[in-house]
Structure 1
């Protein structure tokens, strides 16, 4: 804006023009201020114009809804920045924990997926623990499991295949990644043969028939008990035979029993051993070995009471 021009003054008369210089030249003390003040009040020449608003100033505008929204948004943004600054450490710890958990889950998931994939399929089956049985025959019976992932080997099918071999008492499967499956078996221990019209049946201590032949197998004693394989006498005889020392077991030719408490053994040397019940069989075996060494020509040894062996 431009500064306004001073207001025009009224024309002066000749007398006023002559008096004006005199009045102006010699103003009285105290009248200068009053004259100036009057001039300002009357708006005469020499007074300052009224103040004008500075260039660019405008009248205040009312606050709009958009301004309030912008201010609120700026405040929320500043608040979020402060929260992030103060929670930076906890967020870093949370990220580390989540990353670790994710890595573990990924590792476990990958391992499980690989275990059930063809990457770990069975390519070789090994049978361990077979002495009487032929391992190659057992491996051929389990050939259906070849190509199956180790984690998906069907134990019921393995059991069904091994049931065809009565000599197997127990078995266990061992997976050896990436491609090997080991079958550990425990063979039944024969205690002797039972003679019948069908021939000689090889049995273990549980009375399970392992094989039947027309002739008595070499090295297997003849078991003669009352009541058959389901009687207490047979159970006691089986426990006694399994407790014998190896040298005595190799010389055993016959086992007889009418009850569970009168098991009697016959050796190839002609020695008769009265064993009694199956109780304290481990101690009786030690006493029998010692007594046989001390009495090589004995005809009979009674170890029914192992603390007092009777030699006959």
Structure 2
């Protein structure tokens, strides 16, 4: 129950007359003698009036708020009809299918191109070796060009990218007249074989009619009749029965390989009495004591100078102090 509010002031123009307050604190109506307590009537009337006023204020406040809200936001617009998203979803799915098809096509095309390239380069005869397309560079009189081509021809029909060039190189380098060899593919169907020929530095008499041509590494390059032997090569004269004959031969060949051509042409024979004791005989019969196979360039220069003086023996084993006699 609400607390009774204070009596309200009468409105302007009201004809209500204030009632006198009795000694007992009640309001009495003049002229009425029923002795009834008017204070209770006033309190009840005040409560009813307050409740009605509160209801009116609540109703008025709600109305005013609704009105203000209506003024602020304006009239409520009718809702727009909702469109279906099915067409958008269908378009999206179609775009995804197109992208997938394009990617699949690109992948398939790349795979086909790769397979075709692999077949052309590794299996097809289009890039296979043709012996007629083999080119030999750097041959000499002691290198049989036809034999070199024949080595490569064993790989005929093999696609170049599968061809074992190392095998061809090793087989060519194993030839007596070849010191080094290299093999390069020459697309579409050829090879280029480059050889460094082994040059003879001495002759070894095999018998009265034939001689062997020996390279600086001791390899016999070829066997030829005496009359067809190269001019200007000394005859190797080493007693193969002596101790260290193999080392002595290597020393002689090493010295011969370092001699300039004009000096080598004056040597009639080359030999050794033992390891580290190389000796030569010149075409005029003079003897050369060379010694070890060291300082060959310096010894050759000293000997070339001494040959202008003339002597029967030239000792250049110690090139800083040569001796002639």
Give me the TM-score of the superposition, normalised by structure 1.
0.58
1:139 corresponds to: 149
Secondary structure of the equivalent of 1:305? coil
The CA distance in 1 between the partners of 2:267 and 2:295, in whole Å, is: 20
The CA distance in 2 between the partners of 1:50 and 1:163, in whole Å, is: 118
2:135 corresponds to: 126
* 1:268 and 2:283 are equivalent in the alignment: yes
Give the direction of change, closer, same or farther, for the CA distance of 1:190–1:50 in structure 2 (3 Å limit): same
Render the CA deviation track for 1:113-162: whole Å, top value 9, x for unaligned. 88x92587666433333223244542343134466555433145314531
Render the CA deviation track for 1:16-36: whole Å, top value 9, x for unaligned. xxxxxxxxx8443899xx968
* 1:306 and 2:304 are equivalent in the alignment: no
Render the CA deviation track for 1:275-294: whole Å, top value 9, x for unaligned. 122121111011111222x3
- 204-213 vs 194-203, greater mean Cα deviation: 194-203
- Counterpart mapping for 1:41-52 below 5 A: 41=51, 48=56
Compute the RMSD of aligned alpha carbons: 4.2
Unaligned runs of 5+ in 2: 1-12, 20-43, 67-109
Instruction: State the 1:309 CA deviation.
Output: 2.0
The CA distance in 2 between the partners of 1:308 and 1:211, in whole Å, is: 40
1:28 corresponds to: 16
* 1:218 and 2:230 are equivalent in the alignment: yes
Question: Over alpha carbons, which structure has the higher Rg?
Answer: 2
Give the direction of change, closer, same or farther, for the CA distance of 1:27–1:153 in structure 2 (3 Å limit): farther
1:242 corresponds to: 257
Unaligned runs of 5+ in 1: 1-24, 56-105
* 1:290 and 2:305 are equivalent in the alignment: yes
2:97 corresponds to: none
Secondary structure of the equivalent of 2:226? coil
Give the direction of change, closer, same or farther, for the CA distance of 1:42–1:196 in structure 2 (3 Å limit): closer
Secondary structure of the equivalent of 2:276? coil
* Matched residue count: 227
Which of 194, 202, 212 is 1:201 aligned to? 212
* 1:165 and 2:178 are equivalent in the alignment: no
Secondary structure of the equivalent of 1:173? strand
Contact 2:202-2:213 at 8 Å conserved across structures: yes
* 1:117 and 2:132 are equivalent in the alignment: no
Render the CA deviation track for 1:151-182: whole Å, top value 9, x for unaligned. 43314531453156211122223456666643
